[in-house]
Structure 1
Amino acid sequence: MNWPSTPDEAVALQLEMAPLVDPNPPAGWQPRTAAGLDVAYDGDKLCAAVVVVDLTSLETVDQAVVPGVTDFPYVPGLFAFRELPALMSALERLTTSPDVLICDGQGVAHPRRFGLASHLGVVTGLPSIGVAKTPMGRYDPPGPDRGDWTELRDGDDVVGRALRTQKDVKPLFVSIGHRIDLDTACARVLDLAPKYRQPETTRRADQLCRQALVLDR
């Protein structure tokens, strides 16, 4: 694939690839491991991290971190073009193959319905989930209890959910990335967030890439 070098080329690629998103899990899919992906920045320098956890025990079973540099501009809606090359390199360094990807960003909750989680899912063929800290769209606050949710909408489309992962804590914004449905995506996020707002996958990937970035200075 020729990687876009301009925002116009990136938008065109998103529009071309968005119809490839599949909102259905693979037949008989029973995920055992989940990989969290995150990127830390220091100017144009970055470190991409992937941490794989066991979905039952939540123990870390594999991880990889890759330093890099991005020359793609910072444009809202096009973060994948800054982060995806390094994240793909980190995934390739794993010694295990995760069953689902948990991305610190959007899936179909995106102006062109093709955020980072969808892009990673389509490119790798793996089920993927977008778990964002900020919404792309409008929503009503969910109830105060863990597991409460409301629809996240963009225009007339339901693009995800505002999901309360801990009682009286700000919700996260969950959207499908690829090869998963929204009910399953929210259930897996809750499985991965027994104590904190963020899933353990995201928490550990965030810690790993930040530590690596400090050491790389």
Structure 2
Amino acid sequence: MKINQRHDWPLTAEEAIIIQQQLASEVITSDRLTTVQYVAGVDVGFTESGSMTRAAVAVLSFPDLRLQEYAIAYRPTTFPYVPGFLSFREVPAVIEALEKLSVAPDLILCDGQGIAHPRRFGIACHLGLLTDIPAIGVAKSLLVGKHAELSEQKGAWQPLVHRNETIGAVLRTRTGVNPVYVSSGHRISLPTAIDYVLRCTTKYRLPETTRWADKLASNRGSILPEDLKSET
């Protein structure tokens, strides 16, 4: 994959806010998808006391969710951990991992927010715009917004509302287990995003894309030959 670099990577939150404000208007929250044959999960871990970023991308076939390819990239960490600016800390290394792939995903599920963000520009928006690939934010925790009480049953969801705007959904992916927070990242509507998150989730809380990417990013366990069709 070849990815168009839209901007330099800032070193401060003030610089990052300017980029978020400039690019947020380009985010598309309607369906602009092709046939989805491959879904990808991305995640990031840190080594050497946080000074190195380890980014992983896992590409799964869809709808059977079998691992097809993965890639890992290391890059010096240049941005501090600041809530609301996750993409500036993680996306540079994620892009390097994506560029190693031979199988281009049709949809990316990010471990983080899409437009469910104070400036409507979370990591799924940022990555979706840079790659021009439909992207969904699937976060484990709430960043902004409020929602009504949620049923305990798998598949139940409620709108996530912030400043009188629906910015996402709180979604139960497993009965009786804490929900996830789904929002459009780029080129996908909220109802379609919810549908794909549920279809990518099996018996666990998180989508299989996220589970594979997390395992790779945190260097937990090993990838067996039978897990892969091809390796990067």
Matched, 1:191 2:199: yes
Shift in Å, 1:139: 1.5
Match of 1:140 among 148, 166, 174: 148
Alpha-carbon separation, structure 2, partners of 1:67 and 1:108: 27
Matched, 1:37 2:42: yes
- Partner in structure 2 of residue 15 of structure 1: 21
The 3-state SS of whatever aligns with 2:219 is helix
1:78 matched to which residue of 2? 85
Q: Take 1:116 and 1:66, find their aligned partners in 2: how far apart are those partners?
A: 18
Q: Helix, strand or coil for the counterpart of 1:20?
A: coil
Which of 124, 133, 136 is residue 126 of structure 1 equivalent to? 133
- In structure 2, C-alpha distance between the alignment counterparts of 1:190 and 1:41, rounded to whole Å: 29
Q: What is the RMSD computed on CA atoms of the aligned residues?
A: 1.6
User: For residue 181 of structure 1, what is the amino acid of its counterpart?
Assistant: S
Aligned residue for 1:103?
110
CA distance in 2, matches of 1:113, 1:146: 27
Query: SS at 2:64's partner residue?
Result: coil
| Contact 1:55–1:191, Cα closer than 8 Å, also in 2 | no
Aligned match of 2:55:
48
How far has the Cα of 1:197 moved from its partner? 0.3
- Residues 51 and 64 in structure 1, CA contact (< 8 A), matched pair in contact too: yes
1:74 shift after superposition: 1.6
1:123-163 Cα shifts (integer Å, max 9, x gaps): 11000000000012212231111110001111211110000
Tell me, which stretches of 5 or more residues in structure 2 are unaligned?
Answer: 1-6, 221-232
Unaligned runs of 5+ in 1: 213-217
* AA in 2 matched with 1:158: T
SS at match of 2:141: coil
Aligned to 1:166: 174
Give the deviation of 1:33 after TM superposition: 1.0
Equivalences for 1:51-70 in 2 at 5 Å? 51-70=58-77
